[in-house]
């Protein structure tokens, strides 16, 4: 059992950082500072909300998400690790790895001199993780809440042998409607279309989504802009330590088959993800670390 009183005593910051059971019995860190409000679930190190001042939430959450131990949270920023998508050799292992299905330990909460809030969470190898993946590691999520939200996944190889992994910060963004969406920053980039198995180059300056879409843009670190004129906002999505940008929307038919999505959910979100997968896994020698970051915020 997680002791909220103990967490409050160690890590709360008066008027800024607290702990609460926001959904079922899952424990969340709540952050409120001069820049924004945010909610982070300790289960999965999962950011479920980022609300800059005078703005609606940048992140989209499913109203049908289970919020139940043993099942992933649907929406926000799931942490996909140590594999992205299905396991390569064992279909019984969980989609997108086990990191989003385990409680992470709180390492630190802090206030920076400029008023930003920093939260650090950790998941290290254990008997439970070794049953899924035979490598010793420590993963750390550092989340900085300010004018922008920065989410950084740092993985350290704590074993005596090299290993490789794939990962993603699988961010869901709130839209007024999918037909109002345009995505900038991917022109001229080669992408793998997972739905037909083909490779293409995006020739258009603007990506608009009018059909089911699962595209993995390869060898790109470009900034992407998610434009929604009805919400009168442009979300700037930057990243580092990621060679793949994934764009996903399930479309109507697939959405209706996903148990933790309302049938019409596809109309109000898009995923733009900082990914390392396919031709770009991360290889770590013993003792090495690697960081993957997503930085999101509103353009002025």
Q: For residues 136 and 160, what is the distance between their CA atoms, to the nearest angstrom?
A: 9
Query: Which residues, other chains included, contact 153 with Cβ-Cβ below 8 Å and sequence gap of 6+?
Result: 79, 81, 139, 140, 141, 167, 169, 291, 292, 293
Active site residue 46: no
Burial 203-214 (b: 16+ CB within 10 A, else e): eeeebebeeebb
Look up the CATH number of the domain holding residue 170: 2.70.98.10
The mean predicted confidence, pLDDT, of the chain is 97
- Integer angstrom CA distances of residue 184 from 50, 180, 248, 252, 273: 22, 13, 15, 24, 14
Query: Cis bond leading into 82, ω under 30°?
Result: yes
- The active-site residue, picked from 116, 273, 279, 291, is 273
Lowest mean pLDDT among 20-24, 57-61, 269-273: 20-24
Q: Are 42 and 2 in contact (CB under 8 A)?
A: yes
pLDDT in tens, 136-165: 999 999 999 999 999 999 999 999 999 999
User: Residue 26 forms beta bridges with which residues?
Assistant: 23
Q: Are 19 and 8 in contact (CB under 8 A)?
A: yes
Active site residue 87: no
pLDDT in tens, 86-133: 999 999 999 999 999 999 999 999 999 999 999 999 999 999 999 999
pLDDT for residue 173: 98
pLDDT in tens, 43-63: 999 999 999 999 999 999 999
Question: Please, what sign has the CA dihedral across residues 293, 69, 248, 85?
Answer: positive
pLDDT for residue 36: 98
- The active-site residue, picked from 46, 96, 135, 170, is 170
Q: For residues 36 and 31, what is the distance between their CA atoms, to the nearest angstrom?
A: 8
Instruction: Flag whether pLDDT at 23 surpasses 90.
Output: no
Q: How confident is the model at residue 300 (pLDDT cuts 50, 70, 90)?
A: confident
Output DSSP code: residue 77.
B
Average pLDDT, stretch 208-226?
Answer: 98
Range of the domain at 136: 4-298
Q: For residues 172 and 269, what is the distance between their CA atoms, to the nearest angstrom?
A: 6
Could you give the number of structural domains in the chain? 1
Tokens 């919400």 correspond to 231
């Amino acid at each position: 059992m997680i002791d909220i009183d103990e967490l409050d005593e160690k890590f709360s910051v008066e008027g800024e950082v607290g702990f609460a059971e926001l959904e079922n019995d899952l424990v969340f860190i709540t952050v409120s500072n001069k820049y924004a409000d945010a909610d982070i679930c300790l289960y999965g190190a999962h950011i479920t909300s980022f609300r800059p001042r005078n703005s609606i939430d940048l992140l989209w959450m499913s109203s049908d998400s289970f919020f139940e131990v043993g099942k992933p949270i649907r929406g926000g920023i799931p942490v996909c690790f140590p594999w992205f998508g299905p396991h390569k050799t064992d279909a019984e292992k969980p989609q997108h790895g086990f990191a989003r299905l385990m409680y992470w330990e709180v390492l630190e909460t802090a206030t920076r001199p400029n008023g930003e809030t920093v939260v650090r969470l950790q998941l290290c190898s254990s008997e439970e993780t070794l049953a899924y993946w035979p490598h010793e590691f420590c993963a750390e999520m550092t989340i900085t809440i300010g004018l922008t939200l920065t989410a950084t996944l740092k993985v350290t190889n704590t074993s005596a042998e090299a290993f490789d992994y794939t990962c993603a910060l699988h961010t869901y963004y709130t839209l007024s409607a999918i037909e109002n969406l345009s995505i900038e920053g991917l022109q001229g980039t080669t992408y793998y279309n997972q739905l037909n198995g083909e490779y293409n180059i995006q020739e258009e300056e603007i990506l608009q989504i009018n059909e089911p879409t699962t595209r993995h843009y390869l060898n790109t670190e470009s900034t992407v802009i998610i434009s929604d004129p009805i919400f009168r906002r442009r979300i700037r999505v930057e990243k580092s330590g990621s060679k793949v940008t994934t764009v996903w929307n399930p479309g109507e038919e697939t959405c209706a088959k996903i148990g933790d999505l309302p049938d019409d959910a596809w109309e109000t979100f898009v995923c733009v993800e900082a990914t390392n997968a396919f031709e770009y896994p991360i290889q770590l020698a013993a003792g090495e670390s690697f960081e993957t970051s997503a930085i999101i915020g509103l353009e002025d």
